[in-house]
Amino acid sequence: MMVDERLSRMSWSVGEWTPPDDARRPRDRWGGTYWSYQPFSLIEPDWRIDPEVATEASRVERRIRAQKFHESTGKLEAISRYLLRSEAVSSSYIEGLRSNARNIVFEELKRLERTGTVVTNSGNTSAAAEVADNIAALTSAVNRLGAAENITWPDIESLQAELLPDLNQPGTRDRQNWVGGSDIHPGQAEFIPPAPADLMPAVQDLVAFMNGAATGSLIQAGLVHAQFETLHPFADGNGRIGRALIHTVLVRGGLTEGSVLPISQVLLTRSDEYVTGLMAFRGIPHGADLATESEPARELSISEGVNAWLAHFISAADDAVDLATALKAELDEFDRDSREIIAAHAQRTGTRIPRSDSTVWKILDVLPKLPALTIDVAARLTGTTATSAQSALEHLVAAGVLEKRSVDKGKRGYVSNDLLNLLNSTQRKWASTRFDTRISPPGRPAPGTLPERR
């Protein structure tokens, strides 16, 4: 692929802003010169990765492989789904979409009950429905784009359409956008992405790098994310799609097939470091004036900026391995506790413990995948009959593992409050700058916990 000469180095493109005729307030009538960012090429790099950064990336990749995130069958599939849900919820919180675990899981259950899949937009505009859409989009990115032989730019545009189906102007933007400052003009912007005329060469360069980087998968994922957020190629959804692309790259590289690393959790919790890292990637000093007659100064060389960003991203991935490992341990504890509760119930009632091939155990294995079930959904997920599923669900209610409650209009379901509370408490812990609310409280909005069962 020939590299467009505009990508031969990091630079700026000058633009002129004319205030709209209907601007009423003086502060909205700003007009003048502004500078939009012109990114550097990823496929023909004018940058080098420091040996220390490459060594650390290799170490974290080994940690990821050691966690066997590539295994996606049996109980690990359910755990993977739980991780994916946690990551999508965190990604949604970044965008201001906030709902508790119960509402989100019930929304997923309703979709599965009605359509046979959770990867379906319901047309519902509730916060829970929008978070469920994020889960669907992340699932699509992991499954569809992760398995594609090659990714195209229309593939990424389709991901935006899937995530935000009601946009008036989907697809690659044809207008200048900016980050921070006024909603009306770019005069006070913190960052101004490339002009529309400069976008297509840059996105094609990005796609080519996704399909054939000469780096390890973790470094590739970090650079893809930073470049996508820098290009800000869509009118809406850039953050969510940029985070989904992290997981797409990791899956394609064989690091996390069928699962996700909760990297968004770390990036969200350390938001100041995240923004600092992205600005370093762009070589822009904090507080740089992008609405001036002269071209903005560059604080860092391309290589310095790339390595500063990668150091932050790799550290976030390292922390994400710790978070995923701890969550898997808590899910294992839930499984052990549930089996003990079932055994105690059998002893208390003078009945036999269910056989090893019983539907009771199959349902227990899939609960992390969906902590609220109906009879039909349980039968579908366990590959058994509705009669067998109902009997097993009732057994779990009698033992105290599940409880019955309304999950939709006129529809009764079977719910694990323990797993819903775990999802909420996990979000709270991961919102702590120390990832432990016993040491430091959540530093950002996070779900609460459900009331204790009586």
Q: Give the active site residues.
A: 232
Residue 242 marked ligand-binding: yes
Rounded CA separation 147/312 (Å): 28
Secondary structure of residue 374 in the 3-state scheme? coil
Rounded CA separation 13/36 (Å): 5
394-424: b (≥16 Cβ within 10 Å) or e? ebbeebebbeeeebeeeeebbbbbbbbbbbb
Residue 241 marked ligand-binding: yes
Residue 243 marked ligand-binding: yes
Q: Which residues contact 45 (CB under 8 A, 6 or more apart)?
A: none
Residue 236 marked ligand-binding: yes
**CB neighbours of residue 234 within 10 Å:** 25
What string of DSSP letters covers 20-88?
A: -TT--SGGG---EEEEEEEPPPSSS-S----HHHHHHHHHHHHHHHHTTTT--STHHHHHHHHHHHHHH
382 contacts 359 by C-beta, under 8 angstroms: yes
Rounded CA separation 113/119 (Å): 12
298-337: b (≥16 Cβ within 10 Å) or e? bebebebbbbbbbbbbbbbbbbbbebbeebbeebeebbee
260 contacts 288 by C-beta, under 8 angstroms: no
Residue 239 marked ligand-binding: yes
Task: Identify any residues that bridge with 37 across adjacent strands, giving them in sequence order.
Answer: 12
- What is the arrangement of strands in the sheet containing 372-373, beginning at the earlier edge strand? 372-373, 411-415, 403-408
Q: Which residues contact 4 (CB under 8 A, 6 or more apart)?
A: 41, 201, 202, 205
Backbone phi and psi for residue 407, each to the nearest 5 degrees, phi listed first? -115, -10
Nearest CA among 158, 130, 124 for reference residue 144: 158
Residue 375 marked ligand-binding: no
Secondary structure of residue 199 in the 3-state scheme? helix
| CA 233, chain centre distance (Å) | 18
19 contacts 28 by C-beta, under 8 angstroms: yes
Q: Which residues contact 225 (CB under 8 A, 6 or more apart)?
A: 242, 243, 245, 246, 313
Backbone phi and psi for residue 375, each to the nearest 5 degrees, phi listed first? -60, -45
Residue 100 marked ligand-binding: no
Residue 410 marked ligand-binding: no
- Indicate the annotated binding residues: 236-243
Residues of the binding site for ATP: 236-243
